Amino acid sequence: MHDDRTLIEARLKRVLDERIRPAVYPESVPLEVAVWHAPGEPVPVEEGLAAEVEPISVGARWGAPWGTSWFRVTGTVPEAWAGRTVEALLDLGFDENMPGFQCEGLVYRPDGSPVKGLNPRNQWVRIGAPVVGGEEVRLHIEAASNPVILDYHPFLPTRLGDKETAGSEPQYTLTRMDLAVFDETVWQLVMDLEVLGELMAELPVDSARRYEILRAVDRALDAVDLQDVNGTAERARRQLTEVLAAPAVPSAHRISAVGHAHIDSAWLWPLRETVRKVARTTSNMTALLEDEPEFVFAMSQAQQWAWVRDHRPEVWARVKKAVADGRFVPAGGMWVESDTNMPGSEAMARQFVHGKRFFLDEFGVENEEAWLPDTFGFAAGLPQIIKAAGSKWLLTQKISWSQTNKFPHHTFQWEGIDGTRIFTHFPPVDTYNCSMKGSEIAHAARNFKDKGRARHSLAPTGWGDGGGGTTREMVAKAARLRDLEGSAQVVWESPQTFFEKAQAEYPEPPVWVGELYLELHRATLTSQAKTKQGNRRSEHLLREAELWAATAAVRAGYAYPYEELDRIWKTVLLHQFHDILPGSSIAWVHREARATYERIAGELTEIIEDAQRALAGEGSTELVFNSAPHERAGVVAGGAGVPATTGHTQLASRDGGGFVLDNGLLRIEIDAQGLVVSAYDITAGRETIAPGRAANLLQLHPDFPNMWDAWDVDEFYRNTVTDLTDTASLTAGPDGTSVHVVRAFGDSHVTQVLTLPPGERRLVVDTEVDWHETEKFLKLAFPLDLHAERYASETQYGHAYRPTHTNTSWEAAKFEACNHRFLHLEEPGWGVAVVNDSTYGHDVTRTVRTNSDQGTTTTVRVSLLRAPRFPDPETDQGIHHFRHALIPGASIGDAVREGWRINLPERHHTGAGEVAPLVTVDNDAVVITAVKLADDASGDVIIRFHEAHGSRVRATLTAGFDIADLTVTDLLERPLTDTPVPERDGDRITVRLRPFQLVTLRLRRA
């Protein structure tokens, strides 16, 4: 037989595009349209419905950037359409290729009840099926003219990312406002042909099944009268019945489709717009659930559910009903889909506390899965946090974006730093916006790496990022793929059902140990420095506020601020969303974040000071409150007292220029350029700085990645570097313990203060940068005379190790990585720590010196600032403050202690005398991360702690109050019945911990 395959495939495409799809709506009449443009921010629904409107015509321009327009559409269903299905087609000026990234709308009835959302892939509203003819139609559309930020030529700088700079030029053209007859038979024919055509294209060219489909499609196209598609569509469908009925082979891959709309809580739109995006999407999904009995939709991010509850009660009522029916599924158990690299220990825990508690309180639903499809990599401390929250599964898709190495599994056990393992799945469909295209389904089956051992994977199905969700077309395609020869089998299921099936069939999957590093988006550890500093500061202020408020409540009857702390925690958690904290959102988002963090700091400082004043009492004794988990200058952790004196520091001129600082423990030499050329550990008799090198070296790189400007730094940035050694001035500080350095470069200035405090083994480097560079990367380097094949990097509830070498492509890909408060490197018996108060990104490299000593130089560089121009063209411009410290001779315990210290400065009050802590611990390896009152307002004291050195320890915790009862709990402060209760002797509690083990205790006061 002659090969006519390409001829028929081309015929299918043209006939579908030019004849069959247009016949879905064979008749239409225009609607009358009027509009009111809201003058400022979005208005309440009742105000928009009542506004005075003016006529507007199809073809007119509308919508200033970030504006809201209320359209009113009216019309009458023609009498001749009686008995037919009629829909309103409402095209606001959509580009079908940009669902979620441009204008959107929410349709209301005149009484204010929501109908459904409008977006580029969902432009219809059902009027009647069937109609009787003559019905009056009146609909209102709350239309958001969100500008297109990520356009066809992506990553171009734009001022549209902030309403203050976006201007007022209309963004869209009103395209279609019609009533139309909907021919469901033709629509079903379109679905038949799309599914078969897409499946056919994925089958081998020599496959018999491919040719069976080809012949059936050819016969169906013969059966269509192109001059009367509507009259012949059913005849064409009959030609496809047999090939659509052929069942899948028994070994076919099985896909659990989960209705989904990954909605970024802020990204290329502000937080206030996400509130409306969620309302539009949930309106659409509740409507689709009513129409499609097999469809299941899952939505994560408790914050987004709370927005619907608080801002759109009319939508919330529909959502609650769908949840009660088991069709609209709360997923993930987190407050937002947060970044997991940068949030601190307690913040990461509270993501689950507040997320899970919301779903429990509102619906009685216990989430057992963490749902993070788009998060930019996963810290090694996360598995035990997931488990401690009462969950046991993790889903993500983002690791498939890695540039260098292909992850070897799709279903596996992920093991964290303490040995906890979490059953984890990466959907092989490689998208969290699956649309049920044949290419996606075939890719999932081919790509699945666990074939022969497992058969199940998951496909999050629906338009996401900017929302929209699943469409009726996707549901129709899934119905045809439920059991179709040549395809994977598709069934709608909840995340829980999928994970139960996947775990049952694969009881012993492979194990991946350590962080799940995304080999992409590494610059998110540095972009938008003030957002990151606001997060770090807020986390530590919250620790202080809880600690001192709880202590004052127990000691002085202080009213514990439950509601204020709950609200502030939720605000901080929201800003840890994976496009806010990583610095990859538009200017508007980060401008608001800076203001929010300032407000939070003021509120928390007031709580802290009120509680400390209540504890200090009346008196004239100068007290220092120590919020850190370790003793400091004789002041006990979690208490207040009079600090001990600690010696003095000498400052002298250095031969050849510069200064020498000496406090008897360290001798620091600063040359005439303001560089640290020696950091000598007097006690150990050892130099810290590599020979011929200098620390406190600022280095500037060009920074123009191939794409994803705010997200990415590409490895070639290292090819060009400028050492910033020119000094405008070098002076001794007035206190005799510091040296001041001023530099200028480009359009920027740097002022540094290098301080050697008396009696302490740390050189503090305070850096102020007035930054006005573009597409540059600023680093601060510490070249160390140290031979280390790995280094420790703090993560949640412990630290993880990374190699300093690049033996493999996996190691080489980690050329920029994340730490929290410290990095630590050591040779046996001697180490060095670099600690920080607000930076996360860093790199560590090693070279062997070619001089006579043949030693190793290991260079730690902390990342300070970037200047990408997309999506915020003014990223990081302005004044920034950073604090770092170099700790020669540091053990891992010293690194832990100094990391806390630099982030929790002392607070001073006058009072009656010392303040005893609520709880003490006799082993520095045990770090108390939270002291608070229980969230249920019972007055019970919650103590959360972990082993921080990576060793097995025995420790005694001593409570500063009488204990009536002791319970081991999960993160939600619920008893763990399968966990042994520690030994207790009165107020003394003995604990035994494995490396990095996390424990939460609930102490009921007598």
Q: What SS3 string covers 702-731?
A: ECCCCCCCCCCCCHHHHHCCEEECCCCEEE
Question: Where are the alpha helices (H) located in 325-370, listed in sequence order?
Answer: 345-363
Q: Which residues contact 245 (CB under 8 A, 6 or more apart)?
A: none
User: E strands within 849-922?
Assistant: 856-866, 878-888, 907-911, 919-921
Cβ atoms of 66 and 587 within 8 Å: the answer is no
Q: Which residue's entry shows tokens 């970024």?
A: 264
Cα–Cα distance measured from residue 105 to residue 120, given in angstroms and rounded to the nearest whole number? 10
- Angle at alpha carbon of residue 520, lines to 272 and 776, rounded to 5°: 80
374 in catalytic set: yes
Cα–Cα distance measured from residue 533 to residue 913, given in angstroms and rounded to the nearest whole number? 34
Cα–Cα distance measured from residue 554 to residue 931, given in angstroms and rounded to the nearest whole number? 12
Whats the size of the chain, residue-wise?
Answer: 1006
Burial class (CB in 10 A: 0-12, 13-18, 19+), 16: middle
Cα–Cα distance measured from residue 423 to residue 505, given in angstroms and rounded to the nearest whole number? 12
Q: Which residues contact 365 (CB under 8 A, 6 or more apart)?
A: 323, 330, 359
DSSP letter at 469 equals B
Cα–Cα distance measured from residue 577 to residue 593, given in angstroms and rounded to the nearest whole number? 12
**Residues paired with residue 782 on neighbouring β-strands, in sequence order:** 860
Q: Tokens representing 321? A: 């009903």
**What is the maximum alpha-carbon separation in the chain?**
104
Cα–Cα distance measured from residue 212 to residue 217, given in angstroms and rounded to the nearest whole number? 9
Kindly name the residue from 91, 374, 709, 876 that is annotated as catalytic.
374
Q: Which residues contact 978 (CB under 8 A, 6 or more apart)?
A: none
Closest by Cα among 497, 426, 422 to 259:
497
Cα–Cα distance measured from residue 384 to residue 588, given in angstroms and rounded to the nearest whole number? 35
Closest by Cα among 549, 621, 578, 524 to 941:
549
Cα–Cα distance measured from residue 138 to residue 690, given in angstroms and rounded to the nearest whole number? 77
Determine phi and psi for 266, rounding to 5 degrees: -165, 140
Cα–Cα distance measured from residue 290 to residue 298, given in angstroms and rounded to the nearest whole number? 15
C-alpha atoms less than 13 angstroms from C-alpha of 935 in its C-beta half-sphere: 16
- CB contact burial 451-484 (16+ within 10 A = b; e otherwise): eeebbbbbbbbbbbbbbbbbbbbbbbbbbbbeeb
Radius of gyration of the chain (CA): 31
Cβ atoms of 571 and 354 within 8 Å: the answer is no
Closest by Cα among 823, 755, 765 to 795:
823
Question: Where are the alpha helices (H) located in 760-850, listed in sequence order?
Answer: 809-812
C-alpha atoms less than 13 angstroms from C-alpha of 23 in its C-beta half-sphere: 23
Q: Tokens representing 480? A: 């045809």
Number of C-beta neighbours around residue 336 at 10 A: 27
**Angle between helices 208-223 and 5-15 in degrees, nearest 10:** 50
Cα–Cα distance measured from residue 793 to residue 829, given in angstroms and rounded to the nearest whole number? 19
Q: Which residue's entry shows tokens 């402060």?
A: 973
Cβ atoms of 411 and 395 within 8 Å: the answer is no
What are the catalytic residues? Answer: 374
